[in-house]
Amino acid sequence: MIRVAVIGAGAGGLCALRHLCAKPATFDPVCFEQSGRVGGTWVYTDETGTDQYGMPIFSSMYQELLTNLPKESMAFPGFPFDKKLPSFIKSQDVLEYLEDYADHYDVIKKIKFYQYVQKVRPIDQEKVTVKWEVTYNDVRDTSQVSTEIFDGVIVCNGHYFVPLIPQIQGMDIFKGQIIHSHNYREPSPFEHQRVVCLGASSSGVDIAILLSKVANKVYLSHNKGTLKSQFPDNVELKAGIKCLKENSVVFQGGEEEEEIDSLILCTGYRFVFPFLSEDCKLDITDERVTPLYKHMIHTQFPSLSFIGICKVICPFPFFHMQVQLALAVLDGSVELPSKEDMDKDTEADFRKRLEQGLPWRHAHHMKEKQWDYNDELAAIVKSDPIPKSVSDLYNHVAVDRSSNILNYKKKNYVLTGPETFEEVQ
């Protein structure tokens, strides 16, 4: 039996458990989850800061959030969302879906709730295959510390939790409030305010539109070039921020907007793996995590893998493919190239990105690359690829979103076959 530790019971951890539990004669999984329930970031709470046990609030969800992907693309392969739901759904619907997924595949029994993983350390490094020492504590009583030994570790700790805060000149003198989108919950505190949202990725755009209903004025500040879509009348697009003054924000190019009440940093999140010991030899430099083959398998310790590091993806189908590769490496059904060849492959992928003009910090951004990647993983593990209908619908919505930000979530879709989808009323 191969003992596998899964860290986190969000979508990635549940997917890992679903596949591990499908091979009960091969794998003996234990999942450690610091909270009391499954679902990870989809567990919305009004709270910010810390919870009743002093743990930082994990979820980055806000009220009124509707998914930015249609449920028909979002679903794990073989486990569709409830047909009665519209295509773009609330966080509560996603949470219920994940709970149903966990029940359907009977994985709850493998989860140790309220257990925070403090340390993961490779041991027996001189042997052919290392073992992993996992130390965890009960968040309700931190003196309860335990250690267990595993043959493999699958890290599914989520990557939308620790805010990436840019250093902006004048932050210390600005008199308005500054919050990160991680701590944004609902628009009412911003009523009648003049607000700047910095960053025009999914959350920045969404929060700017939600705030426009109550705020007097919203400036959406970003460095993304021209945004094609129409925005509400009181949302004005601005260049990135140059600096802050006591009451105003100066944008690149010198334009200044005065009497700004709030600045919301929709500037993304950092990768953090606080539990990995130095012996794990994982490096994070400007949001590039190395040494990871195919963005997930540690090339020095292939029994240590990471699910969902990639960004700009269709997460659940993507996790479904990655998990299968992680398991195939653990049970030996797939033989990896040599460490040297894996490192070369990783480096070639990264260099190609830089040559294409992508910034360093986009080392794990997939976007249109994700579908070939999924197909490649499917071929390696000899599993069904993601159906073309799923990727075509995802791509269709991405185009619609870029030109029709105010209305794209009002549409509904059905998958009509493995290669086809239709918009429906």
Shortest separation between residue 378's beta carbon and ligand FAD, angstroms: 19
Among 12, 29, 163, 199, binds ligand FAD (CB under 6 A): 12
Cα separations in angstroms, 255 against 103, 172, 251? 54, 20, 5
Which 87-126 residues touch ligand FAD, going by CB under 6 A? 116-117
Should residue 156 be labelled a site residue for ligand FAD when binding is judged by CB under 6 A?
A: yes
Which 218-237 residues touch ligand FAD, going by CB under 6 A? none
What is the side-by-side strand order in the sheet with 217-221? 177-180, 262-265, 194-198, 217-221, 235-238
Should residue 69 be labelled a site residue for ligand FAD when binding is judged by CB under 6 A?
A: yes
| Segment contacting ligand FAD by CB under 6 A, of 61-69, 119-127, 355-363, 380-388 | 61-69
Among 32, 114, 132, 293, binds ligand FAD (CB under 6 A): 32
In the complex with ligand FAD, which residue's Cβ is closer, 248 or 324? 324
Which 231-270 residues touch ligand FAD, going by CB under 6 A? none
In the complex with ligand FAD, which residue's Cβ is closer, 61 or 210? 61
In this structure, what is the dihedral angle of CA atoms 29, 125, 270, 52, given to the nearest 10 degrees? Answer: 50
Structure tokens at 238: 């601005």
In the complex with ligand FAD, which residue's Cβ is closer, 65 or 244? 65
Query: Can you list the positions of beta strands (E) in 59-188?
Result: 111-113, 115-123, 131-138, 141-150, 152-155, 162-163, 177-180
What are residue 370's phi and psi, to 5 degrees? -65, -30
Are 185 and 270 in contact by the 8 Å Cβ rule? The answer is no
For residue 291, is the peptide bond before it cis, meaning its omega torsion is within 30 degrees of 0?
A: yes
Q: Which own/partner pairs from 395-403 qualify as long-range (CB within 8 Å, at least 24 positions apart)? A: 395/368, 396/421, 397/69, 397/70, 397/73, 401/68, 401/229, 402/227, 402/228, 402/229, 403/228, 403/229
Should residue 40 be labelled a site residue for ligand FAD when binding is judged by CB under 6 A?
A: yes
Which 314-343 residues touch ligand FAD, going by CB under 6 A? 315-316
Are 32 and 16 in contact by the 8 Å Cβ rule? The answer is no
Burial class (CB in 10 A: 0-12, 13-18, 19+), 278: exposed
DSSP character for 50? B
In the complex with ligand FAD, which residue's Cβ is closer, 44 or 219? 44
* CA–CA distance, 412 with 339 (Å, rounded to integer): 46
Should residue 275 be labelled a site residue for ligand FAD when binding is judged by CB under 6 A?
A: yes
Shortest separation between residue 258's beta carbon and ligand FAD, angstroms: 30
Should residue 60 be labelled a site residue for ligand FAD when binding is judged by CB under 6 A?
A: yes
Among 87, 157, 324, 389, binds ligand FAD (CB under 6 A): 157
Should residue 9 be labelled a site residue for ligand FAD when binding is judged by CB under 6 A?
A: yes
Q: 155 in helix, strand or coil?
A: strand
Cβ-based neighbours of 49, under 8 Å, separated by 6 or more: 56, 57, 183
Structure tokens at 300: 């020095």
In the complex with ligand FAD, which residue's Cβ is closer, 145 or 173? 145
Structure tokens at 326: 């992680």
| Segment contacting ligand FAD by CB under 6 A, of 57-65, 99-107, 337-345, 381-389 | 57-65
Shortest separation between residue 33's beta carbon and ligand FAD, angstroms: 5
In the complex with ligand FAD, which residue's Cβ is closer, 176 or 308? 308
Among 6, 17, 29, 42, binds ligand FAD (CB under 6 A): 42
Should residue 10 be labelled a site residue for ligand FAD when binding is judged by CB under 6 A?
A: yes
DSSP character for 42? G
Should residue 160 be labelled a site residue for ligand FAD when binding is judged by CB under 6 A?
A: yes
Burial class (CB in 10 A: 0-12, 13-18, 19+), 247: middle
Among 20, 33, 95, 263, binds ligand FAD (CB under 6 A): 33
Which 276-305 residues touch ligand FAD, going by CB under 6 A? none
Structure tokens at 333: 């059904």
| Segment contacting ligand FAD by CB under 6 A, of 27-35, 75-83, 142-150, 247-255 | 27-35
In the complex with ligand FAD, which residue's Cβ is closer, 63 or 234? 63
Which residues contact ligand FAD (rule: CB under 6 A)?
Answer: 7-13, 32-35, 40-42, 58, 60-61, 67-69, 74, 116-117, 156-158, 160, 203, 275, 308, 315-316
